[in-house]
Chains A and B, each alone.
Chain A
Amino acid sequence: MKKRYDLIIIGGGVTGCALAWYFSHYDFEIALLEKEMDVCCGVSKANTGIFHSRSYWTPDTLKGELHLRSLSWFPRAKKELDLPVRECGALTVALSAADIGHLREVKARGRCPEAEIMGPIEARKREPNLNKNLKAAYYDPGTVVVSPFQLVCSLAECAALNGVEFHFDQHVRGFDQTSKYIRVLTPENNWEAAFVITAAGLFSSEIARYSRDKISDIRPCRGEYFVLDRDCDGFVNRVLYPAPRERSKGILVCPTPEGNVLAGPNFEPLDRFDSSTTYFGLEEVEKGAHRLTPHIPLHKNIRNFSGLRPTLPDRDFHIFFSNTYPNLLHLVGIESPGLTAAFGIAEYVGEKLHNKGLTLREKNDFRFRKAFPVFREADWKTREALIREDPDWGEIICRCEEVTVAEVKHALRTPPGASTLDGLKRRIRTTAGRCQGSFCLMSIPRLMSEIGNVPYGNMYKEGRKSPLFAGETREECSRSEYAEKGSC
């Protein structure tokens, strides 16, 4: 394994992966270091997945500027990443006369030519499940929903396709300087690079302190969600925002690209990193969702989750070179709309490194990612052809989401491949359906052991500390791996 690179990126969330993808267009040797076993294990795995339109940018902030920049990248990224999106548009809903003023502000800020403010009848024609008492709604066709998992994984796959190395289980603990390079220290390795970028999400202030740079603490702000069964698809067809409040975009209801309905998030500042869901938070989300859509079928909930926004006191992104190591760039406080702004962030970082002397020479053999077919979404003719080509397409192991063995194999094998249960879930939706794995859970480890040669004792839900099993039964024990470890 080579350990000297032109560029090292720390953190495999959407920010790190967008940077990897962006820089993989140029002639560099790049490595991405991530402490977990996969990409998309941090903030990027638990959010709303909305590509906010211009209407929701925050003027006079860096995050606002990069949000706008990012929007112009979207068509190109979609093409290079072969990313499925739901271009559904959004309605921002005023439930009181006072809120109508907010709608006008949003409209004025967005300056989107096709956006309009409409009355309740028109709004309910578009979204019949909207609260009858709404006073007006602002319609903005530019809002898009993506699967954050698909976005991060496709960025990572495209980057890997273009030569970026992904190294997992690499917990960065410090930095050092050699004559020409910055040294990145992980417990087992020392890595070196001319330039280093950190994109560590919730740990971004902490990592900046490893290089003795001064920055405020990250304050996590929790948001909780409901995910409804796919048979609720169509309950809402657009993102429904409440008229904006000060701190966040409020509790919204929206469709996902896969056909679930999402309700959330609330906004709860915490003094520690605790991503538990709570009675209190879920109740708040329930209330908020009922205000927008009084008949939302929350009893069809298949999953609750919560995410932590990595916020700084001034609620903005901070992107700065270290005072200690001139070629070390920190990205701190990448909170909402970090997903939307990812491409803009990458471009901005590119400019900063360029100004520091990094030459950006474009490769002439950059390869686009090609998405693998999704059995669930394929029509019958395509399915027929797929099975003819490879019988693995005819073996469905996750019945709720209709995922086939062919898709599991592909997800395990395509770099940076899945290596955990959640890694598969994020790529191909095994265990993401209504049974939450109570049927298919056991067929997945069997495939992982067959295809990836992973021993049962080394199978994890997400991280190294989350083993799926605690050993084997007495009968199995006598002849197996666990016996050696003496755990029977």
Chain B
Amino acid sequence: MPKKVLADVVVIGGGPAGMAAALGARESGAKIVFLLERGDELGGILNQCIHAGFGVQRFGEELTGPEYAGIYKDRLASSSIEVMTSTLVCEVNRDGYVKAVNRSGIWEISARSVVMAMGCRERTRDMIRIPGTRPSGVFTAGLVQYMVNVDGLLPGKEAVILGSGDIGLIVARRLELEGVRVNAVVEIRDSLSGLVRNYVQCLLDFNIPMLFSHTVTGIRGEDRVEAVKISKVDNSWRPIKGASQWMECDCLLLSVGLIPENELTQRLGIPICPESGGPYIDEKGTTEIPHIFACGNVSSVFDLVDYVSIISERTGSAAALKNPPAPVSFILECGGGVGLVVPQRIRERGEGDIFVRPATALRDGNIRFQRGERIIYEKPISICRPSEMIRIPSRGIEWPHETGKVKIEIDGEPVQGI
């Protein structure tokens, strides 16, 4: 027989979001809290991020990923939260019924609230349709980070990295430190995707060439990667005829974006926001189904784990409460210059934060929230980039009495290069 249990809150995914949500729920009075993690350890992505760069916002000091995760693991260990690792959640239904599998059998947990915290996965070669042969040596950058940092294995001797996001930059440095030559980082945009700090510390300091407005348009090598074709692109990212060359390497690493893992969410019929890739949520992480919540990278890809922890604790608390949510007051919409916004729904004015990701790199501009004709928030920005979310505390916005749609816009001068 399946093991049937009742719970107040079930949290799916034991990364930083899930850990914080479980603790938040417990602290807000939920008695029985389950935290289910597929891997054999809690921590999610943090376990593979051995570089420092976590915790400045949340704890006021620079920690490595495992150190940051360690703080939450300790807190969980001394709480009464039921943690189950090596446990994969296979099904969730609209009534808060969760089905999970592990070595001891099948678990059926009936919960009052469910928190989705499954994180994200990496975009693959096939999603961006790089043609060519299909040899060994084509990897996603996050996988390589795991391979090197957790398993101590190297992906090749000479690499080309596609995508200048932070993961790609950090992996580039890690490989150089291990004696793997990085021949180039190739970026299709005309500006850097990751942080300037990472560009300086990871590429400049190691003499790794950076190619803007270029992409990979071919792979050669029957068995193992032998070379990749690098092409210059025009303004609409189309390869320019004749402007390409083969670059030798034995591995190609792709750092071309992350996708929130919402298969479970979608099967519940919860609508997914096309910009964020996650379910539409409010400031507490409530989805369109009032007792189903989402937080962390499953709701939108965050660049700072600190933000994930802060939001997720709040989501956990909300999941612990029994009262139904207030009606939606505002719907936030992406206007010009905005890549995405989370949350997309506001129920209670002045609670929590709003995160806005710029669509492109801009300088000397403004970010603006508008309700109809009325500007309810405006702030100058000296520089913004898609790699850094802009965090706006909700209490800093003059929420009007009248409810409805709010449009967010960013304008400014385009930034090229670094």
Binding site for B on A (CB under 8 A): 231, 275-279, 281-282, 301-305, 380, 383-384, 387-388, 391-392, 394-396, 399, 402, 434-439, 441-442, 445-446, 456, 460-476, 488
Q: A383-B106, A384-B2 are in contact. Are A436 and B154 (CB under 8 A)?
A: no
In angstroms, Cα B152 to Cα A276, docked, is: 31
CB of A461 within 8 A of CB of B106, answer: no
A462 contacts across to B, CB distance below 8 A? 136, 223
B148: CB under 8 A from chain A?
Answer: yes
**Does B154 contact A472, Cβ atoms closer than 8 Å?**
yes
Q: Using A276-B132, A276-B218, A474-B178 as known contacts, list a sample of 19 further A-B pairs with CB atoms less than 8 Å apart, ordered by residue number in A.
A: A231-B263, A380-B2, A391-B103, A392-B103, A394-B105, A395-B103, A399-B88, A435-B121, A436-B125, A437-B143, A442-B146, A465-B224, A468-B136, A469-B155, A470-B156, A470-B180, A473-B148, A473-B153, A475-B152
Is B71 in contact with chain A by the CB < 8 A criterion? no
Q: Kindly state the separation between the CA atoms of A470 and B124 in the bound complex, as whole angstroms.
A: 21
Measured CA separation A329–B178 after assembly (Å): 53
Cβ of B140 under 8 Å from chain A: yes
Determine how close the nearest CB of chain A comes to the CB of B220; give it in whole angstroms: 8
- The contact size tier of chain B is 35 or more
Contact in complex: A387, B105 (CB < 8 Å): yes
Contacts of B154 in A (CB 8 A): 469-473
From A226, which residue of chain B is reached at the shortest CB distance?
B126
B135 touches A466 (CB 8 A): yes
A438 near B105 (CB under 8 angstroms)? no
B106 cross-chain contacts in A, Cβ below 8 A: 380, 383-384, 387, 394
Interface membership of B416, Cβ < 8 A? no
Closest to A439 in B: B121
CB distance from B253 to the nearest CB of A (A): 11
Interface residue from B38, B220, B222 paired with A399 (Cβ < 8 Å):
B38
The residue in chain B whose Cβ has the minimal distance to the Cβ of A465 is B223
For window 118-169 of chain B, which residues contact chain A by CB distance below 8 Å? 121-122, 124-127, 129, 131-136, 139-140, 142-143, 146-148, 150-157
- Can you give 12 A-B contacts (C-beta < 8 A)? A275-B134, A282-B131, A391-B104, A394-B102, A394-B105, A402-B90, A441-B139, A441-B147, A446-B151, A461-B136, A466-B223, A467-B224
Asked whether, in the complex, the Cβ of A394 is within 8 Å of the Cβ of B178, the reply is no
- Chain B residues closer than 8 Å to A275, beta-carbon distance: 133-134
Query: Which residues on B sit within 8 Å (CB–CB) of A468?
Result: 136
- Tell me whether B101 is interfacial, beta carbon within 8 Å: yes
Provide the bound-state CA to CA distance between A473 and B106, in Å: 38
Structural contact, A461 and B104, CB atoms closer than 8 A: no
- Residue pair B124, A435 in contact (C-beta under 8 Å): yes
Q: Which residues of B contact A (CB under 8 A)?
A: 1-2, 38, 86, 88, 90, 99, 101-106, 121-122, 124-127, 129, 131-136, 139-140, 142-143, 146-148, 150-157, 178-180, 217-220, 222-224, 250-251, 263, 266
List, in ascending order, chain A residues with CB within 8 A of B134's CB.
Answer: 275, 277, 305
- In the complex, chain A residues whose CB is within 8 Å of the CB of B152: 472-473, 475-476
Q: Is A384 within 8 A of B105, CB to CB? A: yes
Nearest-CB residue, chain B, relative to A304: B126
Q: Which residues of A contact B132 (CB under 8 A)?
A: 276-277
**Are B131 and A304 within 8 A (Cβ)?**
yes
- B127's contact among A301, A391, A439, A446, by CB below 8 Å, is which? A301
Note all chain B residues with C-beta closer than 8 A to A395: 86, 102-103
Minimum CB–CB distance from B120 to chain A (whole Å) comes to: 10
B375 nearest CB across to chain A (Å): 36
Cα-based distance from A435 to B218 in the complex (angstroms): 21
Contact (A438, B124) CB under 8 Å given A394-B105, A474-B178: yes
Q: Are A460 and B146 in contact (CB under 8 A)?
A: no
Cα distance A435–B119 in the bound complex, in angstroms: 13
Which residue of the partner chain, among A380, A402, A436, A439, contacts B126 with CB atoms under 8 Å? Answer: A436
Complex Cα spacing A402 to B88, Å: 9
Partner of A438, one of B143, B155, B178: B143
**Could you tell me the distance between the alpha carbons of A278 and B140 in the complex, rounded to whole angstroms?**
21
Q: Which residue in chain A gives the minimum CB-CB distance to B118? A: A399
Give the CA-CA distance A429 to B302 in the complex, in Å: 31
Return B250 CB to nearest CB of chain A, in Å: 7
B299 to chain A, nearest CB (A): 19
